[in-house]
Homo-oligomer: A and B are copies of this chain.
Amino acid sequence: MGTPAEARWLTSEETRSWLALTAVMIKLPYALDTQLQRDSGLNHFEYQVLAGLSERPGRSMRMSDLAVLANGSLSRLSHVVGRLEKRGWVRRAPDPDDGRFTLALLTDAGWDKVVETAPGHVAAVRKYVFDALTPEQIRQLAEIGAQVIQAIDPGDHCLEFQRGTDAHN
């Protein structure tokens, strides 16, 4: 039995940390998707798209920027926006400045959808994450997350998207 021979395995502290992290990576997205799906018929990615647009001046964004903001591929975004368009929450228009870009626009119905969906989603985020942590841990989490993202993708700037300039309070 035992374990395959390996160069440098994990210490028990690292293993503990790793098990917790993998469990969070699986369970948290699932929990959030479940709440959103049940209460609004949206998955987390779709919500991020609508919420992202809602917080921009003009309620619009280029597809490629929106993809970065939502941490998804352009292809995925294209499919999703297609669905959201069919449901009347988003529409597309070519960017007047450069015909290669496509602008995604949040419709009035889409705005209403965000307004109706956001409180429940924020409550879930609170319940599953922030209410379970101390302010100190929240600070630590931000730091840890930033460093991991840096290690995965040094060129990534998604954390600099501070979601518009409006103050949430």
Contact = CB atoms under 8 A, between A and B. Distances in A.
Contact of A118 (B4, B145, B156): B4
Size class of the A contact interface (CB-based, 8 Å): 35 or more
B6 A118 contact: yes
A162 B13 CA distance: 11
Oligomeric state, in number of copies? 2
Contacts of A115: 4-5
Nearest to A44: B22
Nearest to A57: B1
B10 A142 contact: no
Contact of A158 (B16, B23, B159): B23
Contacts of A22: 48, 71
Interface of A: 1-29, 31, 48, 54-59, 71-72, 111, 114-115, 118-119, 122-123, 125-133, 135, 137-153, 156, 158-159, 161-164, 166-169
